[in-house]
A = this chain, B = another copy of it.
Amino acid sequence: MVQKMAKQAIAVLSFSIALFILAPQSSCSQSLSVSFRRAPRFPSRSSTSKLHNLFDSQLTKQVPRYQYETRYFKQRLDHFSFSNLPKFNQRYLISSEHWAGPDRLGPIFVYCGNEGDIEWFAANTGFMWEITPSFGAMVVFPEHRYYGKSMPFGSKERAYKDATTLSYLTTEQALADYAELITSLKRNLSAEACPVVLFGGSYGGMLAAWMRLKYPHIAIGALASSAPILQFPEIAQPDSFYNIVSNDFKRESTSCFNTIKASWNALTTEGQKKNGLSRLTRLFRLCGELKDTEDLAYWLDSAFCNLAMVNYPYPSNFLMPLPGYPLREVCRKIDGSPDGTSILERVFEGVSVYYNYTGEVNCFDLYDDSQGVDGWDWQSCTEMVMPMSSNPKTSMFPRYDFDLSADKEYCRTEYKVNPRPEWITTEFGGKDIITTLKTFGSNIIFSNGLLDPWSGGSVTQNVSDSIVALNTQEGAHHIDLRSATRQDPDWLIKQRAAEIKLIKKWLRQYHRAKGAAN
């Protein structure tokens, strides 16, 4: 069973939320439930994914290109032991074009690289590039170890060989990489006194917030956008993610929500009929024959979750080329099909907005396994144990209860590794983290769009004078970090202005304290 799930997991690693539907015991079971672990995933692109490659030429055209140098920094593989391990080259992007320099204490803006190619994050974090000139800042984008070109052991193949080589892919090592790089950069530029401000979105936002907590001497503040640092055992509600996705749909249209809610059962029922899998293969225009309705359910689930994350108010191409308010468009398709259109046909029309907005895709490949093992799957099998459940009473998804023992079984089978579900909260703070932040932290902005399903695990209330939540009702996943567009709504312009104001305040305070000390 686990073997099969593991294989499926690999097959679908290009998507965002691992979801499998159990073939129900009786053909008309209403109590659908999910058998596979819902290991939470943030939106990210892999350069090797066929699906994404299709749009890469468009990406190149659409996403603004920023000017930077690409450099490499030699890092220890294990910062916290003296094992004789090979060092690796960490890639980082750097631009000093607008930097005011050390004499004027020009700030250094550092983006905490997430689980992916750093060039992609640099291209999608226009906010940092755009505010740089007015701050006289240097911009640095260090890449997260084991992603992009920052591969230990010389290649991805070797780095991802097994648990022995993947062993050092942890958040604490990544934070120490950033600490070492920043310290060394500043020393080499005689810029020790220049203030560092951290930025990060999604997992990168969590890293930024944690880095501010763990390395307060390295950075004076952090903008942590859509950073679900509470999405860990015994802190946030595990069903908040799917509830928010569902509410986003319901908000657009109750009938859309209901159609999707009904589709899971329809899918299973159809799959169990004679030639059902073949009919589903044709209906969903799949490239290869559907093997199991679970696979298709997973594909749909991924689309809905990703849509909720990238439900931006203008056309964008973060994961896929999409229209503005894509979720509204999906519901229009689902609701607007002619009378007599079946539930599953409606749903297919809907997700086509996500998977095939340009109309260039002829068939959909559910079994694209070109990516091999990916780093986030390892991370969720080790430290990043973020419980996720879904509840049919409060969402449009079938029931799934977070199942740690099934998770553990999967991880042992897949990687021969035991997850440490309590480690992140031991290392970075657990149930009481808000109190810790209040009494001990300072200078962190937790920015959130409340449509973003990750906002349920993020800090959405002001904690103190200097640890503040900047929420937008209409925002999605770290939209504030994206480059400004002409279509930016007022609430987004205001959110960014508030962020700039706070960062300026941190810098003023720093300069004042520095002046007083000298």
A interface, CB within 8 angstroms of B: 78-84, 163-164, 166-168, 170, 172-173, 176, 179-180, 183, 192, 213-218, 382, 416-417, 422-423, 426-433, 435-436, 439-442, 513, 517
Contact = CB atoms under 8 A, between A and B. Distances in A.
A435 B81 contact: no
Contacts of A84: 163-164, 167, 416
Contact of A427 (B179, B417, B441): B179
Nearest to A430: B217
Nearest to A183: B426
Contacts of A80: 78-81, 170, 172-173
B81 A439 contact: no
A435 B179 contact: no
Contact of A440 (B78, B83, B163, B442): B442
B82 A166 contact: yes
A215 B429 CA distance: 8
A239 B239 CA distance: 59
Contact of A217 (B215, B416, B432): B432
Given A78-B78, A216-B436, A164 B429 contact: no
B163 A82 contact: yes
A427 B176 contact: yes
Nearest to A166: B82
A180 B426 contact: yes
Nearest to A212: B440
Nearest to A517: B435
Given A80-B173, A82-B166, A82-B167, A422 B183 contact: yes
What copy number does this chain have within its complex?
A: 2
A161 to B, nearest CB: 14
B426 A168 contact: no
Contacts of A417: 82
Contact of A173 (B81, B167, B217, B436): B81
A511 to B, nearest CB: 13
B217 A167 contact: no
A513 B172 CA distance: 30
9 contacts: A79-B80, A79-B423, A79-B427, A81-B170, A82-B166, A215-B427, A435-B517, A439-B442, A440-B442
Contact of A168 (B81, B164, B217): B81
A433 B217 contact: yes
Given A183-B422, A439-B513, A513-B439, A82 B382 contact: yes
A168 B427 CA distance: 18
A168 B82 CA distance: 7
A192 B431 contact: yes
A83 B426 CA distance: 19
A167 B78 CA distance: 10
Nearest to A428: B217
Nearest to A78: B81
A221 B259 CA distance: 55
A393 to B, nearest CB: 29
Sorted from nearest, which 6 A-B pairs have the closest CB atoms? A217-B429, A216-B440, A217-B436, A80-B80, A83-B167, A82-B167
A246 to B, nearest CB: 31
Contacts of A217: 428-430, 432-433, 435-436, 440
Contacts of A170: 80-82
A216 B436 CA distance: 7
A444 to B, nearest CB: 11
A429 B216 CA distance: 8
A249 B441 CA distance: 44
A218 B428 CA distance: 9
Nearest to A220: B439
Interface centre among A80, A215, A216 (most CB of B within 10 A): A80
A229 B79 CA distance: 20
A81 B378 CA distance: 12
Nearest to A192: B431
A14 B508 CA distance: 52
Nearest to A77: B81
A423 B432 CA distance: 30
Contacts of A172: 79-80
Contacts of A422: 183
A174 to B, nearest CB: 10
A253 B439 CA distance: 49
Contacts of A81: 78, 80-81, 167-168, 170, 173
Contacts of A183: 422, 426
